[in-house]
Structure 1
Amino acid sequence: MHQTQIFLSFFRIGMLGYGGGPASIPLVHKEVVEKNKWLTDDDFSDILAMANTLPGPINTKMAGYIGFRVAGYTGMINALLASIIPTIILMIVLLTTLASFKDQPWVQGMTKAVLPVVGVMLAVLTWDFFDKSKKGLGWMAAAILIIISFLTIGLLGIHPGFIIAILLAAAIIKKDKPKPAQEKGGEAS
């Protein structure tokens, strides 16, 4: 049963993820976290962060890992095939068909109309991530990380993988300091 669900979920993502990796991330979240409940939101965030640090298409990286996590090596192969088969089919069919219609206004309008929808999907997912980060870190720490990320990624053009790698290294290096034991009795004023 898992293999069929894995295949159908990643096949749907491949078919509907028009616009590449960023457009497919909200679809993966919907299928994997909300619909099938294979991962928690925190697990998904961790996988997304790690997938962003590695080279290659994000959809296949996430499909492979999630398929492996749900059903081992066969789940991994299943999810990978399910995520690339729609692309192969659509590339052959659409490129041969649309090539003859590429200058038509309806084709250009179709491709332009998809962009706002993808933008809204990414904005909703971004808000969900921000909401979860403020619960885990607090408003101030989350806001500071967002501002620093915006400055380094958006304005300075530093690759997000470097920022994620630095944050992962900082989390590994940082040792939780033990909280001082509360003294029994009253403190002197």
Structure 2
Amino acid sequence: MKTHWNLFIAFFRVGILGYGGGPASIPLIQKEVIEKYKWMDNEEFGDLLALGNTLPGPIATKLAGYIGYRVAGIWGMLNAVVATMVPTILLMIILLGSLSSIKGYDWVQGMTAAVIPVVGMMLAVLSWQFIAKSGSGLGWVKTAIMIVILFVLIQIVGLHPGIIIASLLAIALLIKDKPKQGAGGKERDPS
């Protein structure tokens, strides 16, 4: 029962504090799952996030569903997904009902403007963690080259990130399936 309570509280906090949408929720989920409850480590979370980003739908609910399932099975999955959605549903009902009457106040506009740099910094920290992980895995030169290429493809060429992700997944699958050649052209044991 305590595990279910912890799942609910962890993802309820993410749902209530994840102002700015799914990407803003990712660092909050990471903090809860890795640092607070230690349900997984940074590498597992990075892999989960990469996989979650390739699938359609909101990232926060996909992460909640998988982590909840991993921690406590089907009921854990349902618990975590509901905990993620309930704050948004309640806040949307309350805010949409009162937004038209308070949107002109300076404090509301100031609050909205102040959240943008906070979310930006959270995403920058998360991005740096992924760049560092990539740099230690692929090497810094390959990582820098990939960052430049991806920047050009997304920002200058205008290629959709989903196409890039799907292409990189296909390339990774093709590379993984090829046997490695040892000295003399013989296959090496991959282990």
TM-score (norm 1): 0.90
Is 1:109 the counterpart of 2:110? The answer is: yes
**Matched residue, 1:120:** 121
The alpha-carbon distance between structure 1 residues 37 and 59, as it changes in their structure 2 partners (threshold 3 A), is same
**Matched residue, 1:46:** 47
Task: Report how far residue 97 of structure 1 moved.
Answer: 2.6
**Matched residue, 1:180:** 183
SS at match of 2:19: coil
Partner amino acid, structure 2, of 1:2: T
CA distance in 2, matches of 1:168, 1:47: 14
Q: Is the 8 A contact 1:53 1:160 kept in 2?
A: no
Q: Give the % identical residues.
A: 59
After TM superposition, list the pairs within 5 Å mapping 1:55-66 onto structure 2. Answer: 55-66=56-67
CA distance in 2, matches of 1:134, 1:111: 35
Is 1:14 the counterpart of 2:8? The answer is: no
CA distance in 1, matches of 2:179, 2:31: 34
How many correspondences in the alignment?
181
Report which structure shows greater RCO (CA 8 Å, sep ≥6). Answer: 1
**Matched residue, 1:87:** 88
Task: Report how far residue 98 of structure 1 moved.
Answer: 2.9
Q: Is the 8 A contact 1:14 1:84 kept in 2?
A: yes
TM-score (norm 2): 0.89
Task: Report how far residue 179 of structure 1 moved.
Answer: 4.1
Partner amino acid, structure 2, of 1:54: L
Q: Which runs of 5+ in 2 are unaligned?
A: 185-191
CA distance in 1, matches of 2:123, 2:53: 15
CA distance in 2, matches of 1:132, 1:77: 31
Task: Report how far residue 107 of structure 1 moved.
Answer: 0.8
CA distance in 1, matches of 2:123, 2:182: 39
Q: Which runs of 5+ in 1 are unaligned?
A: 182-189
Deviations 1:21-52 (A, max 9, x none): 11111111111122212122121112111221
Partner amino acid, structure 2, of 1:20: G
**Matched residue, 2:188:** none
CA distance in 2, matches of 1:21, 1:62: 10
**Matched residue, 1:166:** 167
After TM superposition, list the pairs within 5 Å mapping 1:65-80 onto structure 2. Answer: 65-80=66-81
Deviations 1:38-88 (A, max 9, x none): 122121112111221222111111111111111111111001000000001
Root-mean-square deviation over aligned CA pairs: 1.5
